[in-house]
A and B are shown apart, each in its own frame.
Chain A
Amino acid sequence: SQQGEEDPQALSIQEGENATMNCSYKTSINNLQWYRQNSGRGLVHLILIRSNEREKHSGRLRVTLDTSKKSSSLLITASRAADTASYFCATDAEGGSEKLVFGKGTKLTVNP
């Protein structure tokens, strides 16, 4: 089962530009996380936001959460070629379930 759905599916930008990716989910959640995946292997955790939080920052990353719209966005500012990767959101499934489910991801390409 998949709870989160990211859009766009693919995004191509120039170095220095900002990249925004969105995640929508279906049921109430306790937490939402964003991960990055390089080269189709292990994922790396970027940021976690709780359902009672609206915004969170980490370096060049900014995550927002709108529980009324059941959506989240990940903003990467001043992008670099090294940011090229796939980005996934993950949530607890189906309103407090204990499993962690991921969306289909956004493939970001940052051109030098």
Chain B
Amino acid sequence: GAGVSQSPSNKVTEKGKDVELRCDPISGHTALYWYRQRLGQGLEFLIYFQGNSAPDKSGLPSDRFSAERTGESVSTLTIQRTQQEDSAVYLCASSDSWGGWTEAFFGQGTRLTVV
């Protein structure tokens, strides 16, 4: 595709429900990053992928959060038993290298609201 695509754009869910957020990176990009951004705050690193592997999961806030990537393409971030503090914009980015050697391209994010 032309850019990084995230879906859904907005998601409202009830506390305790599970949600899946999807990211379609730019074709051929080996690195994929997930970030969380609370209102008015900076980007909080969650996880990144090299191909289909996630060498660093240290940013995941709790064991309710998990992510996978398949086919060195689409990635899914799953939040189980959502809590109100999970409300945020979840941003995905892809790059043709990792560690900041080349620019990262961002999707428009998924705004998650837990009620």
Mark A residues whose CB is within 8 Å of B: 1-2, 29-33, 35, 40-45, 48, 88, 90-93, 96-105
Contacts and interface: CB of A to CB of B under 8 A. Distances in A.
Given A41-B108, A41-B109, A97-B56, A91 B42 contact: no
A103 B35 CA distance: 12
Contact of B100 (A31, A40, A104, A105): A31
Contacts of A102: 35, 42-43, 45
A43 B106 contact: yes
B99 to A, nearest CB: 4
Contacts, number: 86
B65 interface: no
Contacts of A103: 42
Given A40-B39, A42-B107, A43-B106, A99 B91 contact: no
Interface residues of B, number: 33
Contact of B89 (A35, A40, A48, A90): A40
A97 B56 CA distance: 10
A42 to B, nearest CB: 4
Contact of B98 (A40, A43, A99): A99
A90 B61 CA distance: 20
20 contacts: A2-B42, A2-B44, A2-B45, A31-B101, A33-B104, A40-B39, A43-B43, A43-B91, A45-B105, A48-B103, A88-B43, A90-B100, A92-B99, A92-B100, A98-B31, A99-B48, A100-B45, A100-B48, A100-B100, A102-B35
A99 B56 contact: yes
A101 B45 contact: yes
Contacts of B50: 98
A42 B56 contact: no
Contacts of A1: 45, 58-59
